Structure 1
Amino acid sequence: MQQRRLLEVWGDTVDGRHLLGAIGLGVGIAVPVYLIAEWGFDRLTGGDALGRSYALVIGLAACVIAAVVAANLFKPKRVVTIGESANGSRAEAMDAIEAELGPLGDPDDLPPAALAEVKELGLYDDLAAQHRKNRLAAAEGGER
């Protein structure tokens, strides 16, 4: 099996041949549609700027149609892995945030709407654990 040449474009991974195919599809659809629309509006309006503007709008609509067709023909080549993150990665991230911004505080002190969102995102337990860790560290620091 031949190895694919994958490229990253706007945060997505694509096959280089598919990218060229999508570009060709866009040019192949949008340019002729624009030129036909320009010719048609030129005949209808006598070549004024309004006719060229309408032709441009139709050409842009053809670009969108070409993009939809290309997106359906050439799917992204991303690899999605679903599973548990490495143990402690959230705690390490919160430690880094606190190092930069200071203590995060008690999540129960958040306004009700923010608290509901934190719980919905599954971050409440992590924030509460971080707050407990900070309280223990402060208590240990105060005993010395």
Structure 2
Amino acid sequence: MSEERAHNEKPVTYVEVIGDTVYGKHLITTIAISISFSLIGFFIGKQIFPSIAPEEMVKSYSLLLGIAGSLVALFINTILFKPKRTLNEVPSTSDELEDVYKQLRFDIEEERQSILNDPVTAQEMKEQGIYNMFIKEKEDKQK
């Protein structure tokens, strides 16, 4: 039975949006939820505020209620659609870093020199635990 179900399932299609890959149905659903709650908030405001607010402020207050609806939609979307990405962090070595810099056509020696010349940057990198990835190899070569 499980083999039969696996053959009948449609392949999942993903869409790239702002540099991230998302499931198309989830994207459409989140957009629909967001638009709906925003418009509902706005139109409720247009009905409520004329009786309690000055005439010139009704549109502004309605807009604020629409923005509040967007925030409610954001909260609902975060509950409905949890991130599916898992990040596996592994410590990088200076050699791996050098390979990445070569692929990107950056000069790692220039980067190392700028780190050594800027004590604030060096201190921040030490606090983040990435200083040795950049500087360790250079120190080893000098010895």
Common topology (TM > 0.5): yes
Within the candidate set 70, 88, 95, 1:81 is matched to 88
Q: Does 1:53 align with 2:51?
A: no
In 2 relative to 1, CA 85–125 (structure 1 residues): closer, same or farther, beyond 3 Å?
closer
Q: Which residue of 1 aligns with 2:44?
A: 36
Offset at residue 109 of structure 1 (A):
5.9
Q: Which residue of 2 aligns with 1:67?
A: 74
Judge conservation of contact 2:37–2:70 (CA < 8 Å) in 1.
yes
Unaligned stretches of 5+ in structure 1?
137-144
Q: Does 1:22 align with 2:24?
A: no
Larger Rg computed on CA atoms = 1
Within the candidate set 17, 27, 35, 1:9 is matched to 17
State the distance in 2 between where 1:82 and 1:102 align.
Answer: 26
Q: Give the TM-score normalised by structure 1.
A: 0.70
Offset at residue 120 of structure 1 (A):
2.5
Q: Which residue of 2 aligns with 1:98?
A: 107
State the distance in 2 between where 1:49 and 1:30 align.
Answer: 21
- Letter paired with 2:127: E
The total of aligned residue pairs comes to 132
State the distance in 1 between where 2:18 and 2:70 align.
Answer: 18
Q: Which residue of 2 aligns with 1:116?
A: 123
Q: Give the TM-score normalised by structure 2.
A: 0.70
Q: Which residue of 2 aligns with 1:125?
A: 132
State the distance in 2 between where 1:54 and 1:106 align.
Answer: 51
**Per chain length, whose mean CA-contact separation is higher, i.e. which structure has more relative contact order (CA < 8 Å, sep 6+)?**
1
RMSD: 3.1
State the distance in 2 between where 1:103 and 1:86 align.
Answer: 16
In 2 relative to 1, CA 68–122 (structure 1 residues): closer, same or farther, beyond 3 Å?
same
Unaligned stretches of 5+ in structure 2?
1-8
- Letter paired with 2:72: I
Identical-pair percentage: 24
